[in-house]
Structure 1
């Protein structure tokens, strides 16, 4: 017990250890605050979209006479929203740089998705920080600073021979010192997670414990790396450089190489090409035979083929037929883009096994519904909802029906879908099993080598 108290006193007496722990705690608090502000901004944007839509609908129904169906379809912007988990405040993923509350009209879909400024530069945060960044990148540095020079410091201070002369072996003392550091850092992580849950009203459900367990496994990996490096019985400088090199490899080089590989393998200019081709098709449609355009449209949408032929005057049904035909022109590219996005994310999941940092970050984003896969699912939901909006107005446009106030009140609304992903869950299980196996192997090697250490 005396040795334990002495070790606790030594741990917190060092200025570097105290400074590192304080900086880690402050970084976590600031990350929680900044992430909460970003999530609050997202929720406000989504709420505003809903409120504006309801006010516009109330304004339309308050009029004595309703506008024509074509005019109403042109101005009716229906809100959608990316169904983020409240944990998105801590693990922002793709949510801070993508659309989260896009409005959809009955006009061409692709021009609405891609012909817009996704991020406002004047409101873009410089150096965005979230709790995921703190846990993925800063936490390993804290572990390394407090752990990797433990044995070499004992040797430099002349205490290593004394530890080996004690009734309990030096190996057991080192294990106790490592365990103490693990407990201290783990308690700080728990404090941050509980504080975030209380401040953001996050439930202490399965998701909370999943995050905590995943973080604990991630900590075990870096402690195992530190112990393995210490087992080579080198100097403090060598141990520090070796650990830092490991951090650079797993947290920067491998994730960077994976992203570079995926960027080269999957086409990244697809949105620009889709947008450009759709816009050209839409503009050229004004110079084409309008009845021929409508006839081609009705072949794709036979449900409304009994509509009357076009006259000489402008007709809204040709306008929306041409809008949809411009989407048809890029339909194959759009489907390929969605398929490639899912394939890219699936390959990213597989390759993330090479880097615990990348794997851990992806899992956190998935838990918060902020991954690139969730963003692609949101785009697909927008496309499905756009079809419902088009079909809602087509009944009035092609059959020359008048819209009533009841019809406006019954306008189809967006409903976010829940994606469980059974296949993804199985894949995640095997990746987690492999990660645990890697941690176990490194830990076993470190224990075996540490037991062989003898005083010089």
Structure 2
């Protein structure tokens, strides 16, 4: 039976079109991911060279004045890219993988990023995750919407029904042939991506693999349920496409609109403005107003002189610190609201397999918003350690020779890729089982 069904399916135009479409777009998406990785590696290599050359050049110009030298020097923290990022690029096209900062106020530098083509950002990246989330369900719909109705409309169903008592089994076998074809293509593309992108087959790769298989299984169950309603081809096609639009486009858009309005995040510009105001207003105040708060944070510098009638680096960098201090609450509020948005989205996604799959792929690939927030948190700590390491030398009027510049090459941030298998798989698995049981109950009526 299965050999006949496979031969019959392989002779159809939909098989050839689906095979060509999935393989072509899938391979293109893998090479787009490859281009993304190459671009990031080039950027990181250029940043490392730039930092080394910049230190060398500026030290030559400002060797005697360490405070002035560190006004100009930038130090780079790099979020080390992993090849698995290329499977689901997520938000890493707008959230930079590296930040080059001075020891001056951080808030004005934290949200710097490259200019990108807005139309490209709006359409998103054609990565493999996009192909799995959006294209694979459409191919399944195209191959399965008329499994029963075509036989009915062509008048062959009565002949088939007369030849077998297991009518539901026959429909299930036809569906299984198509599902197996889709799974074979999916598995091929995932292993091809692993080979081309040189992704190690670690826990995160297998998690993406299982999540992708489970996602396709969900759509397979949904198509089986629609077939089990025993409606005509037009109804099935329209209903399944409508469900696809609702699950992949409408609900994510509504959820996004809800969280944006329910948890309004202060603009990064607000924190930047508050930082600048907190810094610039100190120029017009008595120096004690600046130094009092600075000394509270760094009491070890309380005996350093701060002349009222002339410029001093301890006062200047104290102003820079106070600028960040003024923006502290706004920055913390922004981070908290972003995390709340993500939490609410994840909770809603537990009941929406398309959203859950997308968020899961981004999280497993390390390209989600929480990964970027962790990077920014690490950047804040990096900046704090950096400036505190220089403060004493600056305030003691040391020269550039007092610093071992070989220790100030670009630093790397190591990302945490941990996850929960239960949280990853259970939501989609339960929904798939429920739909499959409903489809089975309907098919018993045949």
TM-score by length of 1: 0.91
Task: Return 5+ residue gaps in structure 2 as ranges.
Answer: none
Q: 2:404 is paired with a residue of what secondary structure?
A: helix
Give the superposition deviation at 1:14: 2.2
Match of 1:367 in 2: 364
| Pair 1:107-2:76 in alignment | no
Whether 2:322 is the aligned partner of 1:325: answer yes
Question: Following the alignment from structure 1 to structure 2, what is the Cα–Cα distance between the partners of residues 248 and 143?
Answer: 14
Could you tell which deviates more after superposition, 117-126 or 283-292? 117-126
Distance in 1, Cα, partners of 2:174 & 2:103: 65
Aligned with 1:80: secondary structure? strand
Partner in structure 2 of residue 36 of structure 1: 34
Query: CA 1:305–1:405 in 2, change beyond 3 Å: closer, same or farther?
Result: closer
The structure 1 residue matched to 2:131, chosen from 112, 115, 134, is: 134
* Contact 1:224–1:446 under 8 Å retained in 2: yes
Larger displacement relative to structure 2 (410-419 or 317-326): 410-419
Whether 2:75 is the aligned partner of 1:52: answer: no
5+ residue gaps, structure 1: none
Q: Which residue of 2 aligns with 1:275?
A: 272
Structure 1 residues 122 and 72: alpha-carbon distance in aligned structure 2, compared to 1, 3 A threshold: farther
The aligned runs of 1:311-390 (5 Å cut-off) are 311-390=308-387
| 2:229 paired with 1:232 | yes
Q: Deviations over 1:278-321 (max 9, x none)?
A: 22222222222234312331122223222122252322221111
Residues 226 and 240 in structure 2, CA contact (< 8 A), matched pair in contact too: yes
Determine which of 422, 436, 439 is the counterpart of 1:443.
436
Contact map agreement 2:275 2:324 (CA 8 A) in 1: yes
Larger deviation: 265-274 or 315-324?
A: 265-274
Q: Distance in 1 between matches of 2:116 and 2:164?
A: 66
1:252 shift after superposition: 1.2
Contact 1:53 1:77 in 2 (8 A): yes
Q: Identify the match of residue 261 of structure 2 among 261, 264, 267.
A: 264
Tell me the distance in 1 between the aligned counterparts of 2:61 and 2:437. 79
Confirm or deny: 8 A CA contact 2:88 2:129 kept in the other structure: yes
| Contact 1:84–1:368 (Cα < 8 Å) also in 2 | no
For 1:403 and 1:123, the matched residues in 2 are separated by 46
Shift of the 126–349 alpha-carbon distance from structure 1 to 2, 3 Å rule, reads closer
Residue pair 2:88, 2:367 contacting (<8 A) in 1 also: yes
CA spacing shift, 1:31–1:37, aligned 2, 3 Å: same
Q: Residues 352 and 358 of structure 1 are in contact (CA less than 8 Å); yes or no, is this contact kept in structure 2?
A: yes
Deviation track 1:121-144 (CA, whole Å, cap 9, x = no partner) reads 399577431111110011111111
Task: Tell which deviates more after alignment, 179-188 or 339-348.
Answer: 339-348
> Aligned-pair distance for 1:356?
0.7
CA distance in 2, matches of 1:253, 1:122: 21
Is the aligned partner of 1:20 residue 2:13? no
Contact 2:63 2:400 in 1 (8 A): yes
Q: Distance in 1 between matches of 2:310 and 2:81?
A: 46
> How far off is 1:8 after superposition?
1.9
Shift of 1:162: 2.2
Q: CA deviation at 1:48?
A: 1.3
1:410 positional shift: 3.1
Q: Is the 8 A contact 2:52 2:409 kept in 1?
A: no
Q: Which residue of 2 aligns with 1:306?
A: 303
Question: In the alignment, which residue of structure 1 is the partner of 2:220?
Answer: 223
Query: Separation in 1 of the partners of 2:25 and 2:251?
Result: 25
Aligned to 2:4: 6
The TM-score normalised by the length of structure 2 is 0.93
Deviations 1:15-41 (A, max 9, x none): 233213311221111111112112221
Measured in 1, the distance between the counterparts of 2:166 and 2:331 equals: 65
Give the CA deviation at 1:270: 2.8
Q: 1:412, CA displacement in angstroms? A: 7.9
- Answer yes or no: is the 8 Å Cα contact 1:21–1:142 preserved in 2: no
Q: Give how far 1:448 is off.
A: 1.6
Q: What's 2:117 paired with?
A: 121
Note if contact 1:144-1:243 (Cα within 8 Å) is conserved in structure 2.
yes
Question: Which whole-Å deviations, capped at 9, do the CAs of 1:415-456 have from their partners, x for residues lacking one?
Answer: 4144356xxx45x62463232111111101101211212xxx
Does the CA contact (< 8 Å) of 2:137 and 2:219 recur in 1? yes
- Conserved 8 A contact 1:353-1:431: no
Structure-2 separation of matches of 1:54 and 1:241? 60
RMSD: 2.2
Name the CA distance, whole Å, in 2 between partners of 1:295 and 1:403.
28
Contact 2:33–2:86 (Cα < 8 Å) also in 1: yes
Aligned residues: 445
Q: Secondary structure at the match of 2:265?
A: coil
- Relative to structure 1, the CA distance from residue 419 to residue 270 in structure 2 (aligned partners, 3 Å threshold; closer, same or farther) is same
Range 231-240 or range 432-441, more displaced:
432-441
CA contact (8 A) 2:64 2:398 kept: no
d(CA) in 2 for partners of 1:233, 1:123 = 42
1:208 pairs, out of 192, 205, 208, with 205
Q: CA deviation at 1:106?
A: 0.4
Partner of 1:433: 426
